[in-house]
């Protein structure tokens, strides 16, 4: 059963720095145990700020980045290098500044080249990439990621899984999304079964506008209405919040507040 915890930080800046430190430690521990590690990145302001905090941290050298597999939870289906792509932002914030092995960096396909105008084909290709990296004896179609990070939208969406969308019931690991309520309308995303394959799921959330969704997700809401409620790790689910995002939570909830 997944262990749920809530850690509340003073503000978004402290949250980004604390999540970065936590990620460095988690990846270093995984490498100490197995010689390698894996992480699924998220986009958005706080996700990108966290990656920039990893880059600035002197401790980031504790991780052997050449043995880290890097995946994405979702992507805007735009041309390669587009400033709005999560991959582009992650590279600018962190990946271009650390010694990654590009063969272990797995961006979701862009809307050009082989997959121009074909988000369904792009999603199928990403699902195949995930399957190829999955151990033969695994009970899932994707690897057991050490950490899978997610933001949460004001509507409770995670990755590009939006309330009431048919992708919430899809059993495939990765799918195309059409008509997203925030631009751009066409996206690629991991599905809930893929998210739940991760050893640890971290929901990193800042801002008062997210507080109602956080409260509903942690109060047992139906994932069809609040997709964040369905995002859980196999071994741990960690809500990493700033005070504004946590403002509607009741006391308790295995909650810890930091300065």
Q: pLDDT > 70: what percent of the chain?
A: 96
Confidence of residue 251 (pLDDT cuts 50, 70, 90): confident
Q: Which domain holds residue 51?
A: 3-257
Confidence of residue 2 (pLDDT cuts 50, 70, 90): low
Place of tokens 């946590």: 246
Closest CA to 240 of 230, 222, 228: 228
Tell whether pTM > 0.85: yes
Closest CA to 128 of 118, 120, 137: 120
- DSSP 8-state symbol, 210: G
Domain count, the chain: 1
Q: How many other CB atoms sit within 10 Å of the CB of residue 144?
A: 18
Buried b (16+ CB within 10 A) or exposed e, 52-68: bbbeeeeebeebebebb
Strand-pair partners of 256: 7
Q: pLDDT > 90: what percent of the chain?
A: 91
pLDDT, tens digit (0-9, with 9 covering 90-100), for 175-218? 999 999 999 999 999 999 999 999 999 999 999 999 999 999 99
C-alpha separations of 199 from 6, 76, 188, 212, 233 in Å: 17, 25, 22, 27, 5
- DSSP 8-state symbol, 2: P
Distance, in Å, from the CA atom of 173 to the CA atom of 155, rounded to the nearest integer, reads 23
Q: What is the distance, to the nearest Å, from the Cα of residue 29 to the centroid of all Cα atoms in its chain?
A: 19
**CATH label of the domain that carries residue 232:** 3.40.50.1360
Alpha helices in 136-236 (DSSP H): 192-195, 211-217
Q: CB–CB of 147/51 below 8 Å?
A: no
Distance, in Å, from the CA atom of 147 to the CA atom of 50, rounded to the nearest integer, reads 14
Angle between helices 86-93 and 44-56 (to 10 degrees): 20
pLDDT, tens digit (0-9, with 9 covering 90-100), for 71-120? 999 999 999 999 999 999 999 999 999 999 999 999 999 999 999 999 99
Confidence of residue 256 (pLDDT cuts 50, 70, 90): low
Q: pLDDT averaged over the chain?
A: 95
């Amino acid at each position: 059963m997944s262990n749920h915890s809530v850690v509340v930080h003073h503000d978004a800046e402290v949250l980004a720095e604390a999540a970065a430190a936590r990620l460095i430690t988690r990846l270093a521990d995984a490498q100490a145990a197995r010689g390698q590690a894996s992480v699924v990145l998220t986009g958005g302001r706080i996700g990108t700020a966290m990656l920039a905090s990893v880059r600035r941290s002197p401790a980031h050298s504790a991780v052997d980045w050449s043995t880290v597999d890097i995946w994405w939870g979702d992507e805007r289906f735009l041309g390669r290098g587009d400033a709005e792509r999560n991959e582009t932002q992650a590279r600018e914030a962190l990946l271009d500044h650390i010694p990654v092995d590009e063969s272990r960096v797995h961006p979701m396909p862009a809307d050009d080249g082989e997959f121009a105008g074909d988000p369904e084909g792009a999603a199928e290709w990403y699902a195949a990439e995930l399957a190829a990296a999955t151990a033969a004896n695994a009970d899932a179609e994707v690897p057991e990621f050490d950490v899978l990070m997610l933001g949460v939208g004001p509507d409770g969406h995670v990755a590009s899984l939006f309330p009431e969308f048919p992708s919430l019931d899809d059993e495939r690991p990765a799918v195309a999304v059409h008509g997203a309520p925030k631009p751009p309308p066409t996206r690629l995303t991991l599905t809930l079964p893929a998210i739940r394959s991760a050893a640890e799921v971290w929901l990193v959330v800042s801002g008062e506008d997210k507080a109602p969704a956080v409260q509903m997700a942690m109060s047992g809401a139906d994932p069809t209405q609040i997709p964040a409620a369905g995002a859980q790790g196999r071994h741990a689910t960690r809500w990493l919040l700033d005070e504004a995002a946590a403002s509607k939570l009741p006391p308790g909830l295995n909650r810890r507040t930091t300065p």
